[in-house]
Copies of this chain bind each other. A is one copy, B any other.
Amino acid sequence: MEVVTFGETMVQLAADRMAPLEYVDGFHKHVAGAESNVAIGLARMGHRAGWFSKLGNDPFGRYVRQFITGHGVDTSEVRTTDEAPTGVFFKEQISPDRIQVYYYRRQSAASLMNERELNEAYVAKARILHVTGITPALSPECRKLTFRAMETAKKHGTAIVFDPNIRWKLWNREEAGEVLGAMAGLADYVLPGVEEGRFLTGGHTPEEIAERLLEGGAGAVVIKLGGAGAYYRSGESSGYEPGFPVRRLIDPMGAGDGFAAGFISGLLLGEKLPAAVRRANAVGSIVVGVSGDVEGLPTRHEVERLLAGGAASEDITR
């Protein structure tokens, strides 16, 4: 694998209509997981990506595995357990921008992942390890696994890309601050949103946030600024990379995962920081034009077309 990532992927039950959930009769199932989104994004852009996790030995676990495998991601390291079910959550949407999730992931199969089952060679052979701040929040065992995986990467020269992805429903501020801070210090690349950066560092501007994360040990920092693009900083360079115009914003979900996938793709292609950030912006801008977490992830061809100044997609064609 060129890239390896791991984490919990759940079955999302999305409400059939925009209304408080008690008034919704029907739900449709989807696959949702930040890390598998990134892996799928990388596979679609032509990279060899592996994702591992623990799934319940149940229909939903089979569904998640089929979906991710079907998108060309290596799932040979995914484990199955009879001890706990695959996590699920319900997604309520009151209006396009009022979304709430109701988790049924406490003691899920993924929360039983642990460092003893880590295949270190799988991580060691990868060029890049992608980790998020969700996994260490799942359980103490998952936290240990996360650090063990990062240490393995460090030891074998696998670059670490860390996306904080803070989930306030999973832990309190103190714990989150401590753990995510330590992760940032181990990472070669840290990809926070600006609010996340403020939380992690106490800094306010992108410059301050980046400065403090670098001081804390991070190799490079890329701060996501939504439609405005991103600010990047490393020992070598720093600057703002503007975002690509979004013709019509359809669904903001998955933008961050698309950004991460685009950034990692750039790294794998040997791009320097500014170019990789520009690629990340491109992928992010394409993703938000399509409904769904992975539906809008582009092919390499589409990304290159946008980077080359063309339109990422076409209008009515018949």
Contacts and interface: CB of A to CB of B under 8 A. Distances in A.
Please tell me the size bucket of the interface on A: 35 or more
B317 A101 contact: yes
A94 interface: yes
A56 to B, nearest CB: 9
Interface stretch (A65-73, A182-190, A222-230): A65-73
B66 A99 contact: no
Contacts of A21: 58-60, 63
Interface in A71-121: 71-72, 85, 88, 90, 92, 94-104, 106-107
A95 B20 contact: no
Interface string A13-26: 10011111111111
Q: State how many copies of this chain the complex holds.
A: 6
A59 B92 contact: yes
A292 interface: yes
Given A60-B102, A95-B250, A102-B60, A25 B18 contact: no
A309 to B, nearest CB: 19
Contact of A59 (B29, B66, B102, B318): B102
A167 interface: yes
A248 B167 contact: no
A318 B169 contact: yes
B315 A22 contact: no
Q: Which of A25, A67, A71, A95 has the most C-beta atoms of chain B within 10 angstroms of its own C-beta?
A: A95
Contacts of A17: 291
A27 B24 contact: no
Nearest to A169: B318
A313 interface: yes
A289 interface: yes
B88 A291 contact: no
A316 B20 contact: no
A154 to B, nearest CB: 30
A291 to B, nearest CB: 5
A101 B318 contact: yes
Q: Which of A88, A100, A106, A168 has the most C-beta atoms of chain B within 10 angstroms of its own C-beta?
A: A100
A66 B98 contact: no
Contact of A315 (B25, B26, B88, B97): B97
A95 B90 CA distance: 24
16 contacts: A13-B27, A19-B290, A20-B59, A21-B60, A22-B60, A66-B70, A69-B72, A94-B250, A97-B316, A98-B248, A98-B289, A98-B313, A100-B317, A104-B104, A106-B106, A252-B316
Given A16-B26, A22-B63, A252-B316, 18 more contacts: A13-B13, A13-B27, A18-B291, A19-B295, A20-B59, A26-B29, A27-B27, A27-B28, A27-B29, A67-B70, A69-B70, A70-B70, A94-B290, A95-B250, A95-B289, A95-B290, A99-B316, A100-B316
